[in-house]
Amino acid sequence: MTNPAIILVAPQMGENIGASARAMLNFGLSDLSIVNPRDGWPNERADAMSSGALDKMPPVQVFADTPAAIAPYHHIYATTARPRDMVKPVLTAAEAAADIRRRQAEGQKTAILFGGERAGLSNDDVALAQTIITVPTNPDFSSINLGQGVMLVAYEWFQAGDVTAAQAKDLPATQEELNEFIARLEAELDSGGFFRSADMKPTTLRNIRSMLSRSDLTEQEVKTWHGIVSALIGKRKHA
């Protein structure tokens, strides 16, 4: 089974990347990716703060954007403390750990997104995820830094153990397959004049992506949607 990957989106301080790596390895996780780190990569401060964890882990993968980083995975979790205007399942870290373990038993590859220190994940990044993870904290002081957030989620995953029996099930489409369909859908909607307002197009696309992401479409279902779009295009061209 593939353990969940940790993806840090736009982290600012190397120290926090190192602390995240240290927390991961403490609890059995070693797949770390970084999206657009502010101070570049490799980072000496990250190495120092990791206390040797980075040396014991596979090489950190660095990506220019979040869609590229999540492409191989079947299910994405976004960690956020702020309420969002998106309809998605919201789990605590403990609930998410159990869900990840269940998906692992089915053969799914999962990844957990963490946002940068200043503002967390953007709405566009959250829209890429199927599930939101939130950590209940003191409402009068809910500030958790990046390394602490990774540690909380990694600890809950480690504690959850593997208690769910594997069941035969069609795997969800990978994010790459879903992204390819959404890109095609956007192009055809553009061609058909669906986007009446250029200003509203990004929000509309984000809502479409959010709807499709939370549906956990299988590979076959994505192929079916491709077929539906092809049929509609053919009907439009022959009208």
Q: Is residue 127, in this structure, part of any structural domain at all?
A: yes
Query: What are the structure tokens assigned to 124, written together?
Result: 């566009």
Domain assignment of residue 170, yes or no: no
- pLDDT tens string for the chain (239 positions)? 689 999 999 999 999 999 999 999 999 999 999 999 999 999 999 999 999 999 999 999 999 999 999 999 999 999 987 666 778 899 999 999 999 999 999 999 999 999 998 888 999 999 999 999 998 888 888 778 999 999 999 999 999 985 544 555 688 899 999 999 999 999 999 888 898 888 999 999 999 988 888 888 998 999 999 998 888 888 666 55
For the chain, the domain total comes to 2
Q: Which residue(s) pair with 114 in the sheet?
A: 8
Q: Specify the 3-state DSSP secondary structure of 194.
A: coil
Burial class (CB in 10 A: 0-12, 13-18, 19+), 234: exposed
Same domain for 141 and 34: yes
Cβ–Cβ < 8 Å for 46, 72: no
167 within a domain of the structure (yes/no): no
State how beta strands 32-35 and 5-9 pair. Answer: parallel
Domain boundary among 130, 160, 190: 160
Structural domain span for residue 183 = 175-237
Classify burial at 41, counting beta carbons within 10 Å of its beta carbon; exposed 0-12, middle 13-18, buried 19 or more: middle
141 plus 29 within the same structural domain: yes
Question: Distance between CA atoms of 35 and 30, rounded to whole angstroms?
Answer: 16
Same domain, yes or no: 121 and 187: no
Residues 45 and 147 in one domain: yes
Question: pTM here?
Answer: 0.79
Residues 72 and 182 in one domain: no
